[in-house]
Amino acid sequence: MSVAVGVDVGTTGARGVAIDETGVVVATATKGYEVRTPRPLWAEQDPDDWWSATRAVLGHLAGELGSKIQAIGLTGQMHGSVFLDSAGKVIRPALLWNDQRTGKQCAAITERVGSERLTRITGNPALTGFQAPKVLWLRDEEPDSYARVAHVLLPKDYVRLRLTGELATDASDAAGTLFLDLAERRWSDPILDALEIPGTWLPAVHESPELTGAVSAGTATALGLRPAVPVAAGGGDNAAAAIGTAITHEGVLSSSIGTSGVLFGHIEEARPDRSGRIHAFCHAVPGKWCLLAVTLSAGGSLRWWRDVTGMSYDALIGEAASVEPGAEGLIFLPYLTGERTPHLDPEARGAFFGLTARHTRAHMTRALVEGVLFSLRDGLEIMRELGVRPATVVATGGGSSSPLWLQLQADVYNTQIRRTVIHEGAAYGAALLGHVAAGTFGSVGEAVQVVRTRQDPVEPDPRAAHVYDDSFELYRALYARTDDLMHGLTALASPG
């Protein structure tokens, strides 16, 4: 039996998934760590926590599988910034994807490069989560630390450095830095020159299934791995998850509902949305690209509502299932932590709109779930404008485990919904990339043939889909008519 391990360096912990050549999961392991918020809007982690958790995960899997582990693939949270000195030592805690301190630097990037030029080259506008503004923040706010910088890495690539000694990344993760030329799949000299960032700070860019060295002898011995286990370049978490759900051709999307929500679509050519409303990144499929629509508070909205009501998820969803589509004229805006797609507005605010004395907690829960899916449909409509025409959507994350969530996705998107047999997320896709790097499969296309979907698709209800078409248009209009009020409330609540 040939086994590859996918390691996901996530926001809350590292997860390892070992799969054999038929795609069967043979072992898993998880080790958590904390996110630190030393100031409002900041989110940081110690990169050594990632390494310690990865060692624990790989050590556990090696204890179960030993020499059967033939390869490792890496994935993880995107956009974070790990700053290293010339000796490879961490200079300061890493700034994460959800860190919001870099608004001033985003404005500076847009001014220096030009909005249209930036989106044309990188596929995206300057957003606070991306890596480039974090580098500029370090230069502006911590010049002594900045003077020591010799390397800037993404989270999973710091783990790769500790694992193999190699400085490397992959195109899908690099596309989320704002330093990459999207079409050419290499670092952009014009962007680096405009921002005065040395290109030597950035690692070599590989395609996701390519080899990027092997586990070092000392680490292999310490973890109980066989010598020189090859390590694949891997991918950013969304791209790796797309490999694990076989989103590797046009006509199929994935709809992932976790804390955030993501619609992921494969595209054959680099064709970003010039307005920057949705992300365009390189795919983990060599030479291919993808579009991502991101809702910041998807499952996070339901978690907030659970905490407010003191009810369980099951109880809330059970009540919501008793309410007719449209929640009797009640609409929820899920902008509890600002919004990404399509508004790019960190000051957007959530709201229930249309409350009457007749509405109950069940109506409010129903409206909340519908509002989350309307926010994802916002991104779907933009993808359709760009020529993406999905016949099927594969549901993943928490949105794949509830009959109500599944049916509502089918009805709101007005598209068939399918589920995969195995639900292991990004780590599963990273393991498949590891298998390709090891030669188990000849290509990513061959590898994803082991991904199986369940034979019980959920079809849209025509009556409900019609109701949601009308409700969606009202939902869409609300932000445009209230955004100035949202910003006023943010200013009112700000200290000083």
Q: Could you give the CA distance from residue 282 to residue 443 in angstroms, rounded to a whole number?
A: 17
Dihedral angle sign, alpha carbons of residues 286, 242, 46, 13:
negative
Q: HEC states along the chain?
A: CCEEEEEEECCCEEEEEEEECCCCEEEEEEEECCCECCCCCCCEECHHHHHHHHHHHHHHHHHHHHHHEEEEEEEECCCCEEEECCCCCECCCEECCCCCCCHHHHHHHHHHHCHHHHHHHHCCCCCCCCHHHHHHHHHHHCHHHHCCCCEEECHHHHHHHHHHCCCEEEHHHHCCCCCEECCCCEECHHHHHHHCCCHHHCCEEECCCCEEEECCHHHHHHHCCCCCCEEEEEEEHHHHHHHHCCCCCCCEEEEEECCCEEEEEEECCCCCCCCCCCEEEECCCCCCEEEEEEECCCHHHHHHHHHHHCCCHHHHHHHHCCCCCCCCCCEEECCECEECCCCCECCCCCEEECCCCCCCHHHHHHHHHHHHHHHHHHHHHHHHHCCCCCCEEEEEEHHHCCHHHHHHHHHHHCCEEEEECCCCHHHHHHHHHHHHHHCCCCCHHHHHHHCCECCCCECCCHHHHHHHHHHHHHHHHHHHHHHHHHHHHHHHHCCC
List the structure tokens of 145: 């630390």
Residue 48 annotated to the active site: no
Strands 416-419 and 392-397, sheet pairing? parallel
Q: Could you give the CA distance from residue 155 to residue 44 in angstroms, rounded to a whole number?
A: 11
Half-sphere exposure of 372 (CA within 13 A, CB side): 32
Task: Provide Rg for the chain, Cα atoms.
Answer: 22
- End-to-end alpha carbon distance in the chain: 63
Beta pairing partners, 295: 261
Phi, then psi, of 82 in degrees rounded to 5: -110, 120
Q: Could you give the CA distance from residue 149 to residue 100 in angstroms, rounded to a whole number?
A: 22
Q: Which of 20, 49, 181, 237 is catalytic?
A: 237
Catalytically active residues are 237
